[in-house]
Amino acid sequence: MSLKAKTITGFFWSLSQQFGVQITSIVVTVFLARILEPSDFGLIGMLAVFMALGNSLIDAGMTSSLIRTKDADQRDYSTVFFINLIVGILVYAIMVACSGFISQFFDQPELEHIVKIYCLTFVIYPFSAVQRTRLVKMMDFKTEMKITIPSTLLGGITGLVLAFQGYGVWSLVAMNLLQNLLLSIQFWIYSKWRPSLLLDWSLFKKHFDYGAKLTLAGIINSVFSNIYHLVIGKYYPLAQLGYYTKADSLKQIPVKNISTTLSKVTFPLFSEIQDDDARLKVAYKRIMQQVLFWLTPVMALSAVLAEPLFRIVLTEKWLPAVPYFQILCFIGLMFPVHSYNLNILKVKGRSDLFLKLEIIKKSLTLIGIVLALPYGIFALLWTQVILNLVAFGINSFYSGRFIDYHVFKQIQDIFPIFFVGALSALGSWLLMDWVQNIPFLDWIHLIGGGLIGMIIYFLIMWGAKSEPFIDFRRIILKR
């Protein structure tokens, strides 16, 4: 199968997996949000930074090294498997030892017991990390779909049953733990690969040398990507963290479905053509435009229609989360651009530059948080938006130098998509402003506004003969 065909097929199955998982998660989340209180989600939100930090330590960037290594063999895979397992056990032991300090920091005694159970995923994950990596490397996302959807469904059903029976936050703990356990078991069953009892230190050094800087960058990114959970949980009421956590998780639904799907496909794709800068530039540009072509109207219309969406789906008790969600939608738009720019650095082997940029960006984040904290949670959120724009400039400046695709050219290619997305959002808002005081108003706003916005968006894109629209029609539909 050609690289182009592998990429398109991989995209299809990866997108199917993401949509299947997310549809299941959305249904489960809606029911859980209706049953549980914002404070229950706030307690789990307090652990976000620790979970992200632990996962970065366990992976150590070595699975990315496996994907990038064209001649990886049994010794490579087995070495990474056992290193991941050893680190996973150590990370869990550290979290158990620190559980009391974490609960004291947030002044939430229940957190001590939650940490000890919730963090068992650090021990479970390494048993399937290499199996997952092999599937990604082969772009076998069809098998991954068969594994993830049943695991998400069974874990979600368990969480709902426990929530109905009054277990509160523990229903979220049980759901997460069971989903991860089922994932590992199925990856082990479906994968034809088994580790050999060997650990090659020379291969460990090779993968660690590449992954160490990515790991340190990942740790920095994990801490600062979730630092808002930490700050809000420490300095604001628990319910506010619950609102922020729910708004952030809903923002991630379209982002994960579209951009994460392509991110999983693009890294092995970019790795295949890492030595051909001309092809790499063309692939990067077309993929970035394609993902923003679909993500932009979804995020723009979600921000405009947030209030009826929250009222219908989550009930009025979650309405305080609406302004959080609207601001976070701006951040969601920038995620794929960051991801693909950084993938260029990774496939070029410049993990040193990757780390350097993370240190610069996170230093700016820390300064922004310190300056915004006295002015309340909305100042923190808008600071996050500004810092994301600055991060785009930094990432694209450096990655663009490797493939002759500089920051201003990137802006030139993506600005029309954002502009048309803004026009579609304006059309949707005007409809909402015009239609008032009639029965089923929220449903009319949500469905009518969404349809009007999408029609405006695609008509303008079709009339303007935009590049991503032509690419989709010529490549995807033809395929």
Instruction: Measure the N-to-C terminal CA separation of the chain; round to a whole number of Å.
Output: 14
Residues in CB range of 429: below 8 A, 6 or more apart: 304, 449
Q: Tell me the backbone φ, ψ of residue 399, rounded to 5 degrees.
A: -65, -35
R_g of the chain, CA atoms, integer Å: 22
The answer to whether 115 and 102 have CB atoms below 8 angstroms apart is: yes
**329, 251 in Cβ contact below 8 A?**
yes
Domain extents in the chain: 36-235, 238-479
Structure-block tokens of residue 267:
């890294």
Cβ burial 312-326 (10 Å sphere, 16+ → b, else e) = eebeeebebbbbbbb
What whole-number distance in Å separates Cα of residue 402 and Cα of residue 398?
7
Q: What is the DSSP letter of 438?
A: -
CA distance 7 to 12: 9
Which amino acid, 8? I
Question: How many other C-beta atoms are found inside a 10 Å radius of the C-beta of residue 244?
Answer: 27
**Separation between Cα atoms, residue 209 and residue 358, nearest integer Å:** 18
- Spell out the per-residue pLDDT of the chain, length 479, in tens: 555 555 555 555 555 556 666 677 777 877 888 888 888 888 888 887 788 778 777 766 666 667 666 677 788 788 878 888 888 899 899 999 999 988 888 888 888 999 999 999 899 988 888 788 777 766 666 777 778 888 888 888 999 999 989 888 899 999 999 988 998 888 888 877 888 887 777 777 776 666 666 667 667 766 766 777 778 888 888 788 888 888 888 887 777 666 555 555 555 555 555 566 677 777 777 777 877 888 888 889 988 988 888 888 888 888 888 999 999 888 888 877 777 777 777 666 676 777 777 788 878 888 888 888 888 888 888 988 888 888 888 877 777 777 777 778 888 888 888 898 899 888 888 877 776 666 567 788 888 888 888 899 989 988 888 877 777 776 555 54
Per-residue CA distances from 215 to 132, 262, 356, 384 (Å): 18, 22, 12, 23
Amino acid letter at 282?
V
Q: By C-alpha distance, which of 57, 345, 350, 66 is closest to 204?
A: 66
CB-side neighbour CA atoms (13 Å) of 97: 6
Q: What's the pTM value of the predicted model, to 2 decimals? A: 0.67
Neighbours of 215 (CB within 10 A): 21
Q: What are phi and psi of 465, to 5 degrees?
A: 50, 50
